[in-house]
Homo-oligomer: A and B are copies of this chain.
Amino acid sequence: MPHRIAAIQKLTATEPHPERVAMFAIAGDSASGKTTLTKGLVEAIGTHRISSFCTDDYHRYDRKERKNLPFTPLNPECNYLEIMEQHLQLLILGQPILKPKYHHADGTLGRPELFIPSEIVIVEGLFPLWSKLSRATFDVTAYLDPPETVRRAWKIARDTTKRGYTTEQVLSDLEQREPESEKYIRPQRAHADLVISFAPVEGRSSLSATILLRPTVPQPDLHDILTPATRDAAHIKLIRDQDGKPVDALHIHGHAPEAASRLVEEKLWEKIGLGGDIPASLGRISSTERSAPLAIAQLIILHHMIHC
């Protein structure tokens, strides 16, 4: 009704201009490291400046209902993706949303929660890069792309300790999800500005990382960071992406001497320009484990967040 829409525009036009909301997507399959990466970033910057949610909250069915359905949560049919797109559009306008809530611990859908966008919003999950419309709402996008062997190990470790599944259930789940992962999740890799893969280098237990820095957005200038002094920790190489397109691949060595990795971190932190020390949450895998490649990946993302 044009006259009512005009009346509403008149009423809302007097509201103060919404603050700029910088939006970041971290997409990837189940147990690809999205939450660990996001958590470190949120703690580093503080919830007064950065907030995040998971697109799993848009699940249409709870765990019990899904048992009788012919698809897994990796199928768009299993999610309110139109509502997710609507909410993303509201967030970039600085508007609050009443976000649905999926509880991973017991697989239930709970009461919705008010989500007020802060200056920086991270949307992580299976579907942030699903559609042209959802992608248009983000400033910078990342896709987590660990090798399947690594992801499977992570998924078993997490789902059997935090989500109440047995190892057999997780393995059966992985098998059941594979066709939908191929069809709906992995194609999102093509639409990310950063593709991040944590993987062990042969013969080493620590994880290294490869970050594809695609020319789809301005990437941080690393020429003054990747010097002979940091050569043992990281190097960049021009390669062809899976689809043949040219891309810069930043390799971060998990087995590097701590001093060299620390130098990369410090130079990146300085370039970001927030001052103070590098936040302790960056690189944190658990209360006892730290990964320099994770910290460096988070610092690259943080650079985008502050300078996009």
Residues of chain A touching chain B, judged by Cβ–Cβ distance below 8 Å, are: 1, 4-5, 7-8, 11-12, 20-21, 23, 62, 80, 82-83, 86, 89-90, 92-93, 95-98, 100, 109-112, 114, 132-133, 136-137, 139
Contacts and interface: CB of A to CB of B under 8 A. Distances in A.
Given A12-B133, A20-B1, A98-B100, A86 B92 contact: no
Nearest to A15: B133
A256 to B, nearest CB: 37
A285 to B, nearest CB: 33
B8 A114 contact: no
Contacts of A90: 86
6 contacts: A1-B21, A4-B23, A4-B136, A7-B136, A62-B111, A80-B98
Given A4-B137, A8-B137, 17 more contacts: A1-B20, A1-B92, A1-B139, A4-B139, A8-B89, A8-B92, A8-B133, A11-B132, A12-B133, A80-B114, A83-B96, A83-B97, A83-B114, A86-B97, A98-B98, A98-B100, A109-B111
B5 A93 contact: yes
Contacts of A62: 111
Interface centre among A82, A136, A139 (most CB of B within 10 A): A136
A108 to B, nearest CB: 8
A237 to B, nearest CB: 32
Nearest to A93: B5
Contacts of A96: 82-83, 86
Interface centre among A7, A12, A112 (most CB of B within 10 A): A112
A77 to B, nearest CB: 13
Interface centre among A1, A20, A62 (most CB of B within 10 A): A1
Contact of A4 (B5, B83, B92, B110): B92
A12 B83 CA distance: 14
A5 B110 contact: no
